[in-house]
Every structure is written in C-alpha cells, then in structure tokens.
Amino acid sequence: MRILFLGAPGVGKGTHAERVGEALGIPHISTGEMFRRHVGSRTSLGLRVEEILSRGDLVPDVLTVEMMLERLRDPDTVDGYILDGFPRNLAQVHALDGAIGDYALDAVVVLEASDEVLTERILARGRTDDTGASVSNRLEVYERETAPLIHVYRERGLVLSVDGVGEIEAITAKILTALAAL
C-alpha cells in the first residue's frame, strides 16, 4: 500500500506513520527526519536547510522533490510506503503525481486536533525547531500551503479522517482498521 499521512505539526503524524509502517511492514518515509539527519551530519544539503528548518519555513521544492524522488527509487519501496511530510504543497503534489501517477496512492490519512492541543504538544516535545516563533510559523505554513491538499485528495476519494486526540495505541488501531477496510 502507498499511504500518505497529512496533518498539522504536533498532531502525531510522525508517531502514527511510523507505527502503521511497522504494522504493515512498509517503510516510513519522513522528509522532516531526512532533513534533520542531513543537518545532524552536516552534509551540504544539511547546511543549506538548517536555517530554514529552524525558522519553520518550507525547504525549496527543488531540493525537497529531488531528495524524495531519489528515496522513492530505493528497492525497499516496491511493496509500498508511508509518506510523512511530503507532499506539503500543491507543487509537490504535482511532482509526486508525475513520479508515481495521479492515482497511485491508496489512502490519505488526515489526523485532526485543535490548535490548542497542537501548540501544547509541540512545546512539550522540545525538538530544536520547537521554539515559540517557529511553532506559530509552522502552523501558519501548514494552514496556507498544506491544508489545501486535503481538498485535492478528498476529490480523489482518498481521504480517511481520524481524530488525533487520545491514546496513541487506540489511534493507531483506528487507522489500521480504516486501512484494512479499503
């Protein structure tokens, strides 16, 4: 299965994407994690994106798309994958469509939570880009650039909306049940 996880920063996207990937035996591909790894190992890409990540802005599409399409050519993706954090804007949707086809995704899991819950969770998490200014910028960027993708994928009949508030195990179980029913 090819599954995309969408949801605001702090909604638990990464956690559930990883758990669902493990349960289904397919790789969890997180662009945010890939970028953080580049920053940590001080690669040339890492040095270019470090500032951008700490501000909470989006990395330019050329860099993101190239990194992602290269990852999708790895042999472990043949039986499917979980996409977490990509695509994040319309240009990236088109790039993904061009690479795998407009109807290649099986489902888009949309996790939902209120803004208060999101801010609280992000500030509790303590990642290096989890400072006040970056957090509010990331929430804004999400609303402006990424939230419109829900509409695009709903039109394609792919959206499964799941409440992201509650016990981690219960939420993952709900997602797996919804996917199993497809």
Binding site for ligand AMP (CB under 6 A): 9, 31-32, 35, 52-53, 56-59, 64, 85-86, 88, 92, 138
* Residue sitting closest to ligand AMP (CB): 32
Q: Considering the complex, what minimum distance in angstroms separates the CB of residue 181 from ligand AMP?
A: 27
> What are the contacts of 136-143 at 24+ separation with CB within 8 A?
137/55, 137/56, 137/57, 138/9, 138/56, 139/8, 139/9, 139/115, 141/56, 141/57, 141/58, 142/8, 142/9, 143/8
Q: Considering the complex, what minimum distance in angstroms separates the CB of residue 101 from ligand AMP?
A: 19
User: 28 — phi, psi (to 5°)?
Assistant: -95, 115
9 vs 12 by CB, closer to ligand AMP: 9
118 vs 159 by CB, closer to ligand AMP: 118
CA–CA gap between residue 133 and residue 55 (Å, rounded): 8
Q: Where are the alpha helices (DSSP H) in the chain?
A: 13-24, 31-40, 44-55, 61-71, 90-100, 115-125, 132-141, 148-155, 168-180
> What are the contacts of 131-134 at 24+ separation with CB within 8 A?
133/55, 133/56, 134/54, 134/55, 134/56
17 vs 171 by CB, closer to ligand AMP: 17
33 vs 178 by CB, closer to ligand AMP: 33
Q: Considering the complex, what minimum distance in angstroms separates the CB of residue 20 from ligand AMP?
A: 16
Q: Considering the complex, what minimum distance in angstroms separates the CB of residue 31 from ligand AMP?
A: 3
Q: Considering the complex, what minimum distance in angstroms separates the CB of residue 98 from ligand AMP?
A: 15
86 vs 153 by CB, closer to ligand AMP: 86
